[in-house]
């Protein structure tokens, strides 16, 4: 794998509430992005907790040599996000300044020529293959629901005034509904994982063109962040780009 990673505060925010993890170990191909929400740095705490809890959960399973089975892996993705949800929720209700905090979470693990994804919120995972961009995750957001119902177009959703309202998050309630997906991957596929600070600023056609414009994954990542900032940088921006080689 070739990997590029970037996280930027953007042009308008006072702090970066995004968190991420990427592994450079071939025997531990785990990747996570999270976009926190909440005042008094609570969003930053929520996203950091989610990433650390999921990472540590998987590190423990790796030590036990339990990550080579696909059925186990799917269960572990769910269990790790359930654990993150429980711990963040308990912290939120135990401290008034953290009340209502939560985070999106999109994670990926590679096993047996497949990518396994766990997803909550409106951060995204994309796949570039044969010059086509495919969104692997579904946004859990108000505007995504309106698009599904046909009330607004996908183009209108990009600029909708309520586009930041999400309908699922980690840590905002006791119960959580998690999307699990797995997709076969091929040589030269490119996977992009990102927070909505990227996708709310750059249209998908331009994201695709940027992903195809550069062979160096880190430079490609830098270019995505720069472009989002050039267009306004209205939110924190985090991206992980992984090329399968």
Is pTM beyond 0.85? Reply is yes
Question: Cα separation of 31 and 193, whole Å?
Answer: 8
C-alpha dihedral sign at 182, 184, 188, 189: negative
Q: Look at residue 163 and tell me whether its pLDDT is greater than 80.
A: no
Where would I find the H helices in the chain?
42-63, 70-94, 142-149, 154-158, 196-199, 204-211, 217-230
Q: What are phi and psi of 57, to 5 degrees?
A: -60, -45
CATH number at residue 178: 3.60.40.10
**pLDDT level of residue 96 (50, 70, 90 thresholds):** confident
pLDDT in tens, 111-132: 999 999 999 999 999 999 999 9
- Residue 80's CB is within 10 A of a number of other CB atoms, namely 25
CA proximity to 43, closest of 190, 238, 188? 238
**pLDDT level of residue 147 (50, 70, 90 thresholds):** low
> DSSP letters of 141-167?
BHHHHHHHHTSS-HHHHHT-TTTT-BS
Helix (H, G, I), strand (E, B) or coil at 240: strand
Segment 217-239 mean pLDDT: 96
Residue whose structure tokens are 């309630």: 173
- The domain containing residue 131 runs over which residues? 2-243
Whether 168 contacts 107, CB under 8 Å: no
Q: Look at residue 182 and tell me whether its pLDDT is greater than 80.
A: yes
Across the chain, what does the average pLDDT equal? 92
Structurally, the chain folds into a number of domains equal to: 1
Question: Cα separation of 183 and 81, whole Å?
Answer: 20
Question: Cα separation of 224 and 198, whole Å?
Answer: 8
């Amino acid at each position: 794998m070739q990997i590029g990673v970037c996280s930027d505060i953007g042009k308008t925010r006072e702090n970066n509430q995004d968190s991420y993890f990427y592994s450079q170990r071939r025997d531990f191909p785990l990747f996570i992005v999270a976009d926190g929400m909440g005042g008094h740095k609570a969003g930053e705490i929520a996203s950091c907790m989610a990433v650390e809890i999921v990472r540590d959960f998987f590190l423990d399973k790796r030590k036990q040599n339990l990550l080579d089975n696909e059925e186990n892996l799917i269960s572990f993705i769910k269990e790790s996000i359930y654990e993150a949800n429980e711990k963040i929720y308990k912290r939120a209700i135990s401290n008034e300044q953290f009340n209502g905090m939560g985070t999106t979470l999109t994670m990926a693990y590679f096993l047996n020529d497949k990518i396994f994804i766990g997803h909550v919120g409106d951060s995204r995972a994309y796949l570039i293959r044969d010059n086509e961009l495919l969104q692997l995750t579904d946004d859990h957001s108000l505007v995504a629901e309106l698009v599904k119902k046909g009330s607004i177009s996908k183009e209108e959703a990009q600029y909708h005034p309520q586009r930041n309202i999400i309908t699922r998050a980690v840590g905002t309630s006791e119960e959580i509904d998690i999307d699990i997906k797995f997709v076969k991957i091929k040589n030269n596929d490119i996977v992009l994982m990102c927070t909505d600070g990227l996708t709310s600023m750059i249209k998908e056609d331009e994201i695709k063109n940027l992903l195809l414009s550069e062979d160096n994954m880190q430079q490609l990542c830098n270019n995505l962040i720069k472009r989002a900032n050039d267009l306004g940088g209205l939110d924190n921006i985090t991206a992980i780009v992984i090329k399968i080689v």
